[in-house]
Every structure is written in C-alpha cells, then in structure tokens.
Chain A
C-alpha cells in the first residue's frame, strides 16, 4: 500500500475536488451528478478489483448491485410503508426497520455472501466460458429480482426507501473504495492473481490455487457492488429490477474500459470522463427534445457515443487511458527522470 499513497491521495483528492466544486457552485443538479459519480465509482472500482486483477470479464456485477439495493430496501423501508411498498412481504420481515446506514452495510455483506455461495464453482472457468456463465448469472439474478415479488415487488417499481445517501456519504464511501481497491491490488491475493493472469500455467505449477484467488476477488467485488447498489437505492429512493441489467452493465463497463481496467487510476478517471460525457450528452438529448427537431423523442444518442468511444479505445489503446501504471507511479517516475 505504501507505494500507492500518492495515488490514493490524488484520486481521493479528485473526489473531494468534485464535491467542493459542486458545493461552491451551489447548483442542485451538480450535487446530483457528483453523488451519482461517487456511487458509480464504488461500482466501477468493484468491477476493476475483479477484472483488473483476474483478467476475466464479468457481466454479473450489476446483479450484485441489485442484490444490495433490494436487501437494503427490505431492511430499511419504514414498517408502516411496507404494507404498500411490499404487500406480499414475509411476516418476519414486515416489522424490520433498520437505520439505512446499517442496512447499507448489511446489503454489502449480503451481496458478498450471495456471490460467495453461487460463484465458487464458476471460478475455474476462463475465457469465453467464464464470460457466458457470468452473463447467465446476470440473467438468473435479474429473473429472480423480477419475479420474487414478496421481496422485490416484482417488475414494478419499489418505492419508499428512506433518502439517506447524500453527496458527502457517497464521496466518503467512494474514497474508501479507492483505498480498498488499492489495498487489494497490493495484497498477496491481488499480486498472485495478476501473476496467474499473465501465466496461468506457471502460477498453477507453483501451487497457486487460481479459482480460490479469483473467488476472493469476486466476493470483494460483490461487496462493493452491494454497497454501491444500496447507496444508490437510498439516493434514488425508488427503482425497479431494470436498473440492474444490460444497459447499466454497459455504462459501468464503458467507464472501466475507457479508463483502463488494469489500474485503479483508470477506473477512477474513466468514471469521471464517462459521467461527464454522459451528463453532457443526456443534456444535449434534452435540448434536442425541447427543440422538437424530429417528431420522435431523441434517445440513445448517449449510448451510441459511448459505444463508439469504447470500441475506439479498445482498437487504438486496448489497455484504456491508464493501461499499466497508477497515477502516483507515473508522476514519481516523471519527477525522477527530471532530476
């Protein structure tokens, strides 16, 4: 971790700067954007933690975000609202009304536990088989969320979550996530995983249990996703299972890919860039809709631009903007060469 203190400071500084800027400007919209950015950071860092260290693409991440969001909802929706929000809820949960902060933490643990249980056998698969199973896992989680009406209100919107997430809480958690991702990167598990990613056979030959390592990374990633999902739930206060499916997977993935999946710096920078681009393009779509350029509503422009950017990055700079080194290491190097 020591070698990453500079990186952690810079990345945390970026988050603080974004918060300060939005507060000084005092525009409500910016407050919302920065909060969303911080929540995305938690999610993207979780995905980076798994993908960046193991080298395996996972589609299931958003499913665990959903597990976190619904867990926190069930635990924290006020008892008197539950009759309306979740009419079929199991009796033993009807009286439960935890503090949202506690339930956010439990949500993270819950997502991690679910991930731990379902994913262990999946971790020995690599390449395309691993990707297909993670995709299948996302579909399974989505189908369960859509249909387990007792806990999720089915495909309908679940409402009534207490608003607990504000810009400060989300920024605080985002900074913790940055530090967490860096600590994991330098942990024994993280180092061994990256070694095994580069040479699976050599790692297996020296007795590294690759599936077990991947599993640890996957569980920690799900913890991040669960917390991120719960934070988001307590920010938006109402949502439906659709929020945890392919479209959102695409956005999170674009952040990670554009920034660079191998580095924490890449994850953070990618999240900033894509968030800014996303909000800008959504704004543009709004303006175009106002202007009624065409008879049809303008939607999809944002995703088209993001998809093109993603493809361009993968073709021109496959490792993303920060392919191998963290920002701290890059700066230190530059200073040393200058001497």
Chain B
C-alpha cells in the first residue's frame, strides 16, 4: 500500500511537470507546425533569473514571479529573433534559427554568468518531507502536483473561455481562415510564445527545485521530455500533450522501479526509440489532433 502511494505520487508529480513542459512546446507547434528548439532555454532563463536575484533579499515569491516574467519575455524574443524573420521562408530555416537561438542563449549564460552550476534560492517548503499513508515524500512533489493541476485548469479556462484562447485553437486548425475572420496572425503567434514561456518559467522553478542549481545546459532534458511527450500525445493536440506527459512519467517511473542499473542507463535510448517508432507507426501521434493545418 505504501509502495502504491509512493508510486502514484511519483508518477503524478513527474507527470505534472512533464505535462506542463509538453504543453509549452505543443502550443507553439500546434499553431506554427514548427519545433522550437530554444524551448529548454526558457527554463534556463527562469533559473538564472532566480540565481541573479538570489542576493536581492526579495521574498521568494516575488523572485519567482520575476523569473516567470523573464521566461515569458524570452519566449516572445524567440518569436522575434528566430521565427518571425524566417517564418515565410522555409521550415528548415526556422528549425535551424531556433536551434541557433538555443545555442546563443546557452552560450550567453556560459559567457556572462558561468559554466559552473549556480545555486538557486529555494523556499524552505521545497526541502521538507511529509508522510502520507506511510509513504515519505518530499513536499516539493505535492507542490508540483498542485501547481500542475492549477495551471492545467487555468490553461483550459483560457483556451475555452476567452476569445484569445478560442482564436488560438482556431488558428491551430486553420490559420488562414482565422485570419480571414480578423484574427491577427502575429498576435496569435506571440501569445503562443508568451504562454510557452509562462509554462516553461513555472515548470522551470519546479524542475530546478529538484536539484537546487542551474547550469547552461539545464534546458536539454526538459526539451527532450517535451519532445517525447508531445510525440506520444499527438504533436498537435493540447490534451494529447498532457496525456503524453503523464504517460511518459508512468513509463519512466515504472522503468526506474523495474530496470536494473545496467539497463537503466539506456532509458533515454529506449524512450527515444519509442518516439521514432510512434512517429513511424502514427505520424500524427497516438492522440489525434485537429484535422487540418496550415502554416502562414
């Protein structure tokens, strides 16, 4: 029983983080059909903002809010630097510019801050543990679950109840038609990047909360996670991305508990082979996304 509780908490907290990561990637992919390789660096930006403010004496929540805002700004900057100028040219060009922008941000952190891990301030809550039904779990995990639930609910509300959200969903299926109803393309795309940055910022705080430090390469793992979850979940479907995130967490947690140390090292190889197989078997992913799609 204790084990079951432990397992469920592990899956839900990891899954919550994964789902948010995937959602941040897919919100842009769904509309532009382009992968933002610089997505992981949004998480990095949030982390370094925390580090830079660590001596400021501000309350943690204020620092966290600033960090999330910086991630949002970095997301919007991605649009302006890497996407907007080449969007009309070719898919390959955008993928390369976003990859270049990712390298740019990482190396800016290397150059201007440090290649060494930097300590990020964390509230005392993050390091406490609680006992639930005999299972000892870090409070951090419960915070992650709560944050995921709240954000997913807010996100659903935004997408269902606001005109902007409805317009974004519409743009994901048929961008041209949405524009012909007066929805401005640039606003939709920038909003998608801003939301992507917001999700990355929040998930960044939770993610960095696990280790307590930030390094320039911190964004790679979340990017890979978001990739896999997105592919599992159907590339273009928002709910699919969330499902994909939780499924991946289930797979990862199960492998963690069952595989021997020798095989566990190959976990990434397993999961990425899974990605390739899923893309081959169902290029649209496991969860079917909106029927059609165009780019501008």
Contact = CB atoms under 8 A, between A and B. Distances in A.
Interface of A: 51, 55-57, 121-122, 125, 127-129, 131-133, 135-137, 139-140, 143-144, 146-147, 246-247, 250, 253-254, 257, 296-304, 306-308, 310-311, 314-315, 318
Given A129-B279, A311-B82, A136 B272 contact: yes
Contacts of A302: 107
A197 to B, nearest CB: 11
A42 B275 CA distance: 30
Given A127-B91, A128-B29, A314 B111 contact: no
Contact of B111 (A55, A127, A140, A299): A299
A136 B101 contact: no
A250 B33 contact: no
Given A55-B92, A250-B103, A139 B268 contact: yes
Contacts of B34: 128
B276 interface: yes
A297 B100 contact: no
B93 interface: yes
Interface in B92-136: 92-93, 95-97, 99-101, 103-104, 106-111, 113-115
Contacts of A318: 86, 89-90, 93
B103 A307 contact: yes
A310 B266 contact: no
B220 interface: yes
B231 interface: yes
B184 interface: no
A144 B283 CA distance: 25
B53 to A, nearest CB: 19
Contacts of B106: 300, 303
Interface string B225-244: 00100010001000000000
Contacts of A136: 227, 272-273, 275-276, 279
Given A125-B279, A133-B276, A136-B227, 8 more contacts: A56-B92, A122-B280, A133-B279, A139-B269, A140-B276, A299-B115, A301-B107, A307-B107
B111 A307 contact: no
B280 A310 contact: no
Nearest to B35: A128
Nearest to B98: A311
Contact residues of A: prevailing secondary structure: helix
Contact of A253 (B99, B113, B275, B283): B99
A246 B272 CA distance: 16
A205 to B, nearest CB: 21
Interface string B33-67: 11100000000000000000000000000000000
B81 interface: yes
A304 B235 CA distance: 31
Given A122-B280, A132-B35, A136-B275, A315 B266 contact: no
A147 B35 CA distance: 28
Nearest to B86: A314
Contacts of B115: 297, 299-300
Contacts of B101: 307, 311
Q: Interface size for chain B: under 10, 10 to 19, 20 to 34, or 35 or more residues?
A: 35 or more
- Is chain B's binding surface mostly helix, strand, loop or mixed? helix
Given A137-B276, A250-B103, A144 B269 contact: yes
Contacts of A253: 96, 99
A300 B100 contact: no
B2 to A, nearest CB: 32
A308 B103 CA distance: 10
30 contacts: A51-B92, A125-B279, A127-B91, A128-B29, A128-B33, A128-B34, A128-B35, A129-B235, A131-B35, A131-B92, A132-B35, A132-B231, A139-B268, A139-B269, A147-B269, A246-B220, A250-B99, A250-B100, A257-B96, A298-B111, A299-B107, A300-B115, A302-B107, A307-B103, A310-B96, A310-B97, A311-B97, A314-B97, A315-B85, A318-B90
B275 A132 contact: yes
A143 B228 CA distance: 15
A306 B279 CA distance: 32
B265 interface: yes
B281 to A, nearest CB: 10
B294 to A, nearest CB: 13
A303 B104 contact: yes
A253 B34 CA distance: 18
A300 B110 contact: yes
B113 to A, nearest CB: 8
A168 B275 CA distance: 42
A147 B265 contact: yes
Given A132-B227, A136-B227, A254 B100 contact: yes
Contact of B227 (A135, A147, A308, A310): A135
B164 interface: no
A308 B104 CA distance: 7
Contacts of A140: 268-269, 272-273, 276
B104 A307 contact: yes
A303 B285 CA distance: 35
Interface in B265-296: 265-266, 268-269, 272-273, 275-276, 279-280, 283
B151 interface: no
A311 B83 CA distance: 10
B224 interface: yes
B268 to A, nearest CB: 4
B102 to A, nearest CB: 8
A300 B107 contact: yes
B100 to A, nearest CB: 4
Nearest to A308: B104
A143 B96 contact: no
Nearest to A251: B103
Contacts of A254: 100
Contacts of B114: 296
